[in-house]
């Protein structure tokens, strides 16, 4: 069965970076992109972007350019998202999800809570 396993919660200081992971199983990893979505109480769900797991090509929502960097390791079927120059506004749950034809998301990871606090 399709599963997306995400890394554990992170507590980070303002100005630092974190890198969270999303390990896929149950399907051919390189046949689907991996998307990332941010969820906060105030802003709701926000689309960050996606990575083509075969080519490594990326797309970023304008709002997250310079904030998020998406990478992939095909050998371990794992996608990564690095968040840099963290501020308290980056405190959120971050989900990876599998997009279908780039349109909607049929499987989601359980989320990774990132807390930015001094």
Partner 1 sequence: DIVLTQSPALAVSLGQRATISCRASESVRSSMHWYQQKSGQQPKLLIYGASNLASGVPARFSGSGSGTDFTFTIDPVEADDIATYYCQQSRNDRTFGGGTKLELK
Contacts with partner 1 by CB under 8 A lie at: 35, 44-47, 61, 95, 100, 102-111
Q: Which CB sits closer to partner 1, 88 or 110?
A: 110
Q: Is 29 helix (H, G, I), strand (E, B) or coil?
A: helix
Q: Which CB sits closer to partner 1, 101 or 118?
A: 101
Q: Which CB sits closer to partner 1, 3 or 117?
A: 3
Q: Is the dihedral of CA 7, 3, 111, 107 positive or negative?
A: positive
d(CA 51, CA 62): 15
Q: Is 113 helix (H, G, I), strand (E, B) or coil?
A: strand
Q: Is 30 helix (H, G, I), strand (E, B) or coil?
A: helix
Residue 62 CB, nearest approach to partner 1 (Å): 8
Residue 113 CB, nearest approach to partner 1 (Å): 11
Residue 114 CB, nearest approach to partner 1 (Å): 15
């Amino acid at each position: 069965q399709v599963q997306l396993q995400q890394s554990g919660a992170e507590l980070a200081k303002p100005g630092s970076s974190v890198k969270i992971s999303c390990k896929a199983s149950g399907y051919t990893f390189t046949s689907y992109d991996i998307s990332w979505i941010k969820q906060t109480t105030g802003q709701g769900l926000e689309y960050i972007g996606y990575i083509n797991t075969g080519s490594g090509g990326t797309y970023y929502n304008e709002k997250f350019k310079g904030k998020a960097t998406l990478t992939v390791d095909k050998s371990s079927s794992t996608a990564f998202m690095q968040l840099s120059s963290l501020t308290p506004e980056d405190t959120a749950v971050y989900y990876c999800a599998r997009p279908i034809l780039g349109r909607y998301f049929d499987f989601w990871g359980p989320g990774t809570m990132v807390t930015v606090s001094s």
